[in-house]
Amino acid sequence: MTEHTQIGIIGAGPAGLLLSQVLHLQGIDSIVVERRSPEYVLGRVRAGALEPGMVKFLRAAGIGERLDREGHPHKGIAIAFEDKRFRIDMEELTGGGYLTIYGQTKITEDLMTARAERGGNLVYEIGDTSIHDLDADRPSIRYSKDDEEHEIRCDFIAGCDGFHGISRPTIPGDVLKTFDRKYPYHWIALLTESRPVSEELIYVHHERGFVLCSMRSPTQSRYGIQCGTEDTVDDWSEDRIWSEISARLSPDLADSLDTGACLDKSIVPKRSFVAEPMQYQRLFLAGDAAHIVPPTGAKGLNLAGSDVYYLSRAFIEYYGTGRTDLLGAYGATALDRVWKAEWFSGWMTELLHANPNHGPYDRRAQIAQLRLLSQSRAAQTALAQSYVGVPY
Ligand code: FAD
Ligand code: PHB
């Protein structure tokens, strides 16, 4: 069966859903295809810290209501190292900027509801996705569902299918350049039924390894614990998790640590990756399909949001005026912001983790950098500006 639409979107993660929602509000038609079930997509606990630009964009996309009601503003973060803990006052240092804690699962759910209410065409649980005729006026997406072959003919294809999707590999090898860095540690990421250790996020540097203390609500915490690259979730029992978090926290925080059931446990590899170009003929990549960052800077989801902002604006210009200026500029515009976030996420990662390959010199230099950051308003301002995000 062949269907026709303006934009064919591969992937119903935050990037694909948000793009289809924003386009719909401007009268642009799309079909979204997703290889997983809606329940599976909603069950993936991932990011949670939203930049102000992303919050504004989600509101403009018509899904701000629950976000404004349940999102928690975070006007500062704490960084702990040795026996010190200092606060970076993001709001003051950036002239009013702050992050909002609101889980990716909720954003996905809000977008799914909004698309369903407006009759969005979303096809879940598909297989064998492939892209064809990118150099023709009407390229196509083919897929199988319930033992039948399907085709979507469209004007443009948005590859929003995440890091392991098929869109990026469709770009020929002699066109695609990739930039990759792996770090010698992973995170075990947890969602727990327990009171957060603090009202604000804490990034803990410790010689045993880094810990992120984040939260989702007054009764749910989110932790990221540095672990080895060979570790599996089975290596981390609840006992080991709580005793390791406790060992890496300062005594005052460890004493008040609330331990509870683990609702979700996953290994998150630490990797920086960028693919260029983000556009090839009639295919446009957005989100993790084009780039990933280590989560220390809280940028992955926010970059998916800014890509969709630039891409939707380009499609809106094209369908409104026939002009292709913004479509042509999409890759360069998105990559400028992507690379700044890549740099920041890599820098935060290296500043805060215990690197098993470091010798005594590197360890001393790392502590010196943390001390400098704790004492220098200029250094804190630079961190705060990147953390709240480069304006769209
Ligand atoms: P995705 O969310 O990956 O969505 C892509 C979608 O495409 C998926 O639903 C997938 O099933 C679908 N798909 C893939 N292949 C196909 C195909 N062939 N056909 C059809 N559909 C396909 N970021 C942070 O900022 N903080 C965090 O704490 C954090 N934790 C993370 C933990 C994990 C385990 C992972 C994997 C990522 C984490 N991230 C985090 C990153 C953040 O979640 C991503 O940047 C964000 O999900 C990107 O959204 P996306 O829509 O581009 O990609
Ligand atoms: C989260 O709450 O999921 C979160 C917060 C900050 C990060 C990464 C993840 O740096």
* Structural contact between residues 271 and 182, judged by C-beta atoms closer than 8 angstroms: yes
| Ligand 2 pocket test target in 212, 264, 301, 386 with most atoms within 8 Å of CB | 212
What is the value of pTM for the model shown? Answer: 0.97
What is the C-alpha to C-alpha distance for residues 96 and 219, in angstroms, rounded to an integer?
27
| Ligand 2 pocket test target in 102, 216, 222 with most atoms within 8 Å of CB | 222
Which ligand gives the minimal distance to the CA of 285? 1
Which whole number is the average pLDDT over 152-157? 98
pLDDT in the model for residue 158: 99
Q: Which residues approach ligand 2 with their CB closer than 6 A?
A: 47-49, 201, 212, 214, 222, 295-296, 298
pLDDT in the model for residue 34: 98
- The average confidence (pLDDT) of the chain is 97
Give the containing element (helix H, strand E) for 317: helix 300-321
pLDDT in the model for residue 83: 85
pLDDT in the model for residue 308: 98
Which ligand gives the minimal distance to the CA of 296? 2
The strand order across the sheet containing 76-81 reads 84-89, 76-81, 202-204, 211-217, 220-227, 177-192, 262-276, 291-292
Give the residue whose CA is nearest to atom 5 of ligand 2: 49
Which whole number is the average pLDDT over 174-189? 98
* Structural contact between residues 168 and 275, judged by C-beta atoms closer than 8 angstroms: yes
Ligand 1 atom with the smallest distance to the CA of 166 is 18
| Ligand 1 pocket test target in 288, 306, 309 with most atoms within 8 Å of CB | 288
What is the C-alpha to C-alpha distance for residues 362 and 87, in angstroms, rounded to an integer?
24
Give the containing element (helix H, strand E) for 385: helix 377-388
Q: Is pLDDT at 235 greater than 90 in this prediction?
A: yes
How confident is residue 32, by pLDDT bands cut at 50, 70 and 90? very high
Which whole number is the average pLDDT over 307-322? 98
What is the C-alpha to C-alpha distance for residues 276 and 285, in angstroms, rounded to an integer?
10
Which of 268, 262, 255 is CA-nearest to residue 221? 262
- DSSP collapsed to 3 states, 128-191: EEEEECCCCCCCEEEEEECCEEEEEECCEEEECCCCCCCHHHHCCCCCCEEEEEEEEEEEEEEE
Which whole number is the average pLDDT over 189-214? 97
How confident is residue 49, by pLDDT bands cut at 50, 70 and 90? very high
pLDDT tens, residue by residue, 338-377: 999 999 999 999 999 999 999 999 999 999 999 999 999 9
Ligand 1 atom with the smallest distance to the CA of 299 is 25
pLDDT in the model for residue 11: 98
pLDDT tens, residue by residue, 276-292: 999 999 999 999 999 99
321 Cα–ligand 2 center, Å? 40
What is the C-alpha to C-alpha distance for residues 28 and 129, in angstroms, rounded to an integer?
23
Q: Is pLDDT at 246 greater than 90 in this prediction?
A: yes
Which ligand gives the minimal distance to the CA of 142? 1
Phi-psi region of 209 (alpha: psi -120 to 50; beta: other; left: phi over 0): left
pLDDT in the model for residue 231: 98
pLDDT tens, residue by residue, 64-122: 999 999 999 999 999 999 989 999 999 999 999 999 999 999 999 999 999 999 999 99
Alpha helix stretches (DSSP H) within 157-299: 167-170, 238-248, 251-255
246 Cα–ligand 1 center, Å? 30
How confident is residue 129, by pLDDT bands cut at 50, 70 and 90? very high
